[in-house]
Amino acid sequence: MHSWLKRIRSAAHPSLLASGLIVAGLLLIIAQLGWWLVFFQMTSRERQIEQKRLDQALLELARRGLVDPTVERQGNDFGIRSAIVEEREQRRRGQLLMLVSETMAVVLVLSLIVYRSTKILRREVDLARERTAFLHSVTHELKTPLTTISLGLETLQMHDLTVKERKQILLDATQATERLEQEINALLAGSALLRKTVRIRDGQSEVGEILERILEQHNALIQKKKLTIKTRLWPEKLIIGGIHSEFLQRALGNIIQNAIQYSPDSCTIEITVDADRKWLSIHISDQGPGLSGAERKKIFRPLYRGLHARAGGSGMGLSIARNIIEQAGGEILVVSDAIAGGSTFTVRFPRARLKDAL
- Confidence label for 8 from pLDDT (cuts 50, 70 and 90): very low
Report the pLDDT value the prediction gives residue 20, as an integer from 0 to 100.
Answer: 66
Intra-chain end-to-end CA distance of the chain, in Å: 76
Residues 21 and 120: beta-carbon distance below 8 Å: no
Looking at every residue in the chain, the average pLDDT score rounds to 78
Whether the CB-CB separation of 258 and 317 falls below 8 Å is answered with: yes
pLDDT of 297 reads 83
Alpha-carbon distances of 203 from 152, 156, 199, 281, 353, rounded to whole Å: 42, 46, 10, 19, 12
Residues 232-251: what's their mean pLDDT? Answer: 84
Task: Give the pLDDT confidence of 305-351 residue by residue, as tens digits.
Answer: 666 665 555 567 888 888 889 888 999 999 998 788 899 999 999 98
Residue 42's φ and ψ, nearest 5 degrees, are -65, -45
Proportion of the chain above pLDDT 70, given as a percent: 78
* Structure confidence at residue 99 as a pLDDT band (50, 70, 90): confident
Q: Is 204 helix (H, G, I), strand (E, B) or coil?
A: strand
Cβ 113 vs Cβ 154: under 8 Å: no
Q: DSSP states of 224-271 as a string? A: HTT-EEEEEESSS--EEESS-HHHHHHHHHHHHHHHHHHSPTT-EEEE
Residue-level pLDDT at 357: 42
Q: Quick one: which of 222, 237, 244 has its CA closest to 273?
A: 237
According to the model, what pLDDT value does residue 131 have?
A: 65
* Average of per-residue pLDDT across 137-145: 68
Which domains are delineated in the chain? 2-130 (no CATH), 136-195 (1.10.287.130), 204-353 (3.30.565.10)
Is residue 2 very low, low, confident or very high in pLDDT (cuts 50, 70, 90)?
very low
pTM, entire model: 0.55
238 and 348 Cβ atoms separated by less than 8 Å:
no
Which pLDDT band holds residue 358 (cuts at 50, 70, 90)? Answer: very low
Q: What is the pLDDT of residues 257-273, one digit of tens each?
A: 889 988 999 999 999 99
pLDDT band at 7 (very low <50, low <70, confident <90, very high): very low
Q: What is the pLDDT of residue 1?
A: 44
Q: Which residue has the higher pLDDT, 202 or 132?
A: 202
